[in-house]
Amino acid sequence: MKRQIPLKITAGIVTALFSLPLYLALVNVFKTLEQIRTLPVALPNPFVLDNLIQVLRRPDHLISKGLLNSVFVTSITVLVIVFFSSALGFYIARSNHRLARVLLFLFVAGMLIPPQVTLIPVTRILKFLGMMGSFKGLILFWAGSGLLSFAVFVFTGFVKTIPRELDESAALDGASRFTLFWKIIFPLMRPATATVVIFLTLWIWNDFLLPLIIVGPSRGVTITTGIYTAVGTYTSDFGQIFAMMFLSALPMLAFFFALQREFIAGLTSGALKG
pLDDT at residue 54 in the model: 87
pLDDT at residue 271 in the model: 46
- Cα–Cα distance, 29 to 73 (Å, whole number): 27
pLDDT at 266 over 90: no
DSSP-derived secondary structure letter, 30: G
Mean pLDDT for 31-48 is: 85
CB 54 within 8 A of CB 240: yes
Residue 41: pLDDT band (50, 70, 90) is: confident
pLDDT at 36 over 90: no
Nearest CA to 274 out of 161, 152, 112, 151 is that of: 161
- Residue 175's φ and ψ, nearest 5 degrees, are -75, 140
Counting residues of the chain whose pLDDT is more than 70, the rounded percentage is: 91
Of 229 and 1, the structure prediction assigns the larger pLDDT to: 229
Helix/strand number for the chain, H first, E second: 15, 0
pLDDT at residue 84 in the model: 94
pLDDT at residue 155 in the model: 93
HSE value, Cβ hemisphere, 13 Å, CA-based, for 173: 11
Of 66 and 231, the structure prediction assigns the larger pLDDT to: 66
Mean pLDDT for 97-123 is: 86
- Cα–Cα distance, 110 to 120 (Å, whole number): 17
pLDDT at 1 over 80: no
Residue-wise pLDDT for 154-165, tens only, equals: 999 889 988 888
Cα separations (Å) of 101 from 12, 85, 87, 134, 179?
44, 15, 15, 36, 24
Q: Residues 49-270: name the CATH superfamily.
A: MetI-like (1.10.3720.10)
Q: pTM of this prediction?
A: 0.83
pLDDT at 214 over 70: yes
pLDDT at 4 over 80: no
Nearest CA to 58 out of 266, 221, 249, 262 is that of: 221
- Cα–Cα distance, 242 to 39 (Å, whole number): 15
Residue 257: pLDDT band (50, 70, 90) is: confident
pLDDT at 233 over 70: no
pLDDT at residue 136 in the model: 92
- Chain-wide mean pLDDT for the chain? 85
pLDDT at 274 over 50: no
Enumerate the domain spans of the chain: 1-48, 49-270
Of 231 and 121, the structure prediction assigns the larger pLDDT to: 121
